Structure 1
Amino acid sequence: TSDQVDMISYITEENKRRKRKRIILIELYFESVLLGMAYLISHRAPRGIGSFSDDEHKYTLRKYLLKDMYDGSEAACYDQLRLTKRNFHDFCTMLCERCGLSSSVYVTVEEKVAMFLLVAGHGLKMKLLRGTYKRSLGTISTHFSAILRAILSMHGEFIKLPDANVQSPNDYKWKWF
């Protein structure tokens, strides 16, 4: 009988220990599930259409357009900007070094020059650039004027005035030149 009582007390203690162990494991499980859910909720990206803000979308679009334009193929760069890639980058560098042109917080020198060349080279309306580059007309106009002033300040390097000593040909069509 004493052995039976000892056996019963041992079994009871063993059951209590197992029950405590189960309770601790269940608590740990629920804590880990709650922590996992909290992590997923706090680090989850928004879904659907609003996954990017409008500003991020505009920035990404402009970056893609410009990268495709002046870092893409040579033919695409020449077709759009009327300059080869090397000439475009040299032109941007020249405007920065000699005219003091610099990138602003939101617009790079390359983007300013590309917008200028699209308007000047293709006769593109600034309103079309507004739609393409997602910039306001004021921004486009300001940067266009800045590039134009920079180019005009280097007129001695770009514009060669005619020599007054040269006789014009007798061709009647020459009068237009």
Structure 2
Amino acid sequence: MASWIDNERVRPLVAAFTTIVVVVACLIEEMNQTRRGRSKEPSIFRDLTRKNHIERVLRSGRDYCVSYLRMDVGPFMHLASIMRDKHLLLDTRYVSVEEQLSMFLHIVGHNTKNRTMRVEYVRSGETISRYFNNVLKAICAIRDDFVHPPCGNCHSEIECNPNWYPFFKDCIGLLDGTHIDASISPQELPWFRGRKGPTQNVLAVVNPDLQFTYVLAGWEGSANDFTVLKDALSRPQPEGKYYLVDAGYTTMQGFIAPYRGVRYHLKEHSGRAPTNLKELFNLQHSMLRSRVERAFAILKNHFKILTSHPFFPFRTQVRLVIACCILHNYIAGVDPNDILLDEGITQHDDQIMSSQPRSQREQREENRQWIELRDKIAHDMWDRYSGFV
């Protein structure tokens, strides 16, 4: 009996089916090749667009680079090498360390939104967000390298100024607080709401050379400066040294405030010579301590993200304040002639442990000693000033 395939009626059907299968397979292969060719072409275009964008930023001159990245080319490349050497950032198959840093610096420098960055870097919003958080974490990891606590020696800016030396030779920092806009959940909003809306209260210590030596961020905006200060009182400091604070604080161990009820702010002294030792002390105190206010002004001018309403989780908002202070110190140390720093001059939080409680009598005695030190400094200033008048 002959096989069924030998049947004259079945054989044409088999041949036709085989032909159809081959044709369909060829069409599918052709479509796949066309699709691969089409997807490859835009990918190359996107890579060239990103490469040209980064090169234009880094090679268009100092003004353009500082305007876009908030730092010059040299400091930028040095920061990228630090990140590589410490293995804090890695070059991926598609995104280099330089591109990761440039995205982050442009966002914090100009408060650029994610949708704008997607267009400029031809990246997805998820990619922009992921690398932003990676760089933020890396910047905070180098905090100890660029935010150094005071060593206790007299700062050169004080030592070289006869108005301040030797009167403030034991001053190791200028302390003040500032408020940064915050985005808070409705449940926590009452604690963070201040006179200017929801904010986080940031306490910082600055050297006379405008570099931050201590930053405490994340406090509720409704907390006053002295409440925030008390949370940091246990931080160890050199014996006999002190910080200069404004009239919102009080003179106590390690902190010297100006005389209350006496002219203090520089504009109040404009065109008027001091008439007594308290006015003279307040004038010199204000001239020196005003540098912490200038440091805050430079910081906010440098990184516009600190002056705009944030849309990040609150933990990220706190880290951003720390990261911007670290970058400020880095730029001031690597490039002291930075354009933005010159403009401002001319015009891992530590866990805070509560201090041991002391009796009110002991506190009054300590405060009295520091008040006497302030009076001695004021008398010495007045004696020298009277000798010149």
Query: How far has the Cα of 1:72 moved from its partner?
Result: 2.6
Q: Distance in 1 between matches of 2:79 and 2:145?
A: 12
Secondary structure at the aligned position of 2:214 is classed as coil
Q: Contact 1:99 / 1:150 at 8 angstroms: preserved in 2?
A: no
Q: Which of residues 83, 97, 122 in structure 2 aligns to 1:134?
A: 122
Tell me the equivalent position of 1:54: 42
Q: Distance in 2 between matches of 1:69 and 1:60?
A: 14
Q: Which of residues 84, 89, 102 in structure 2 aligns to 1:101?
A: 89
Query: How far has the Cα of 1:132 moved from its partner?
Result: 1.2
Percent identity over the alignment is: 25
Structure 1 counterpart of 2:111, one-letter code: G
Tell me the equivalent position of 1:34: none
Q: Contact 1:69 / 1:76 at 8 angstroms: preserved in 2?
A: yes
Q: Distance in 2 between matches of 1:129 and 1:57?
A: 17
Following superposition of structure 1 onto structure 2, how do residues 6-85 of structure 1 map, counting pairs within 5 Å? 53-85=41-73
Please tell me the root mean square deviation across aligned C-alpha atoms, in Å: 2.6
Tell me the equivalent position of 1:161: 214
Query: How far has the Cα of 1:136 moved from its partner?
Result: 0.6
Secondary structure at the aligned position of 2:90 is classed as coil
Tell me the equivalent position of 2:140: 152
Q: Distance in 2 between matches of 1:72 and 1:93?
A: 21
Q: Distance in 2 between matches of 1:130 and 1:56?
A: 17
Structure 1 counterpart of 2:58, one-letter code: Y
- Give 1 or 2 for the bigger CA radius of gyration: 1
Q: Contact 1:81 / 1:117 at 8 angstroms: preserved in 2?
A: yes
- The answer to which of 52-61 and 114-123 deviates more is 52-61
Deviations 1:33-92 (A, max 9, x none): xxxxxxxxxxxxxxxxx8x82111111111111000013311111110011110000011
Structure 2 counterpart of 1:121, one-letter code: G
Tell me the equivalent position of 1:124: 112
Unaligned stretches of 5+ in structure 2?
A: 1-37, 148-212, 216-234, 247-257, 259-263, 266-285, 297-389
* RCO higher in structure (CA 8 A, sep ≥6): 2
Query: How far has the Cα of 1:99 moved from its partner?
Result: 4.0
Tell me the equivalent position of 2:313: none
Tell me the equivalent position of 1:89: 77
Number of residues of Structure 1 aligned to a counterpart in Structure 2: 127
Q: Distance in 1 between matches of 2:144 and 2:49?
A: 37
Query: How far has the Cα of 1:93 moved from its partner?
Result: 0.6
Tell me the equivalent position of 2:102: 114
Secondary structure at the aligned position of 1:105 is classed as coil
Q: Distance in 2 between matches of 1:89 and 1:71?
A: 12
Q: Distance in 2 between matches of 1:74 and 1:142?
A: 29
Query: How far has the Cα of 1:115 moved from its partner?
Result: 0.2
Q: Distance in 2 between matches of 1:107 and 1:151?
A: 18
Q: Distance in 1 between matches of 2:126 and 2:146?
A: 28
Query: How far has the Cα of 1:156 moved from its partner?
Result: 1.4
**How does the TM-score come out when normalised to structure 1?**
0.64
Query: How far has the Cα of 1:131 moved from its partner?
Result: 1.0
Secondary structure at the aligned position of 2:71 is classed as coil
Q: Contact 1:116 / 1:144 at 8 angstroms: preserved in 2?
A: yes
**How does the TM-score come out when normalised to structure 2?**
0.30
Secondary structure at the aligned position of 1:58 is classed as helix
Secondary structure at the aligned position of 2:43 is classed as helix
Structure 2 counterpart of 1:166, one-letter code: Y
Q: Contact 1:99 / 1:153 at 8 angstroms: preserved in 2?
A: no
Runs of 4+ aligned structure 1 residues displaced above 4 Å come to 171-174
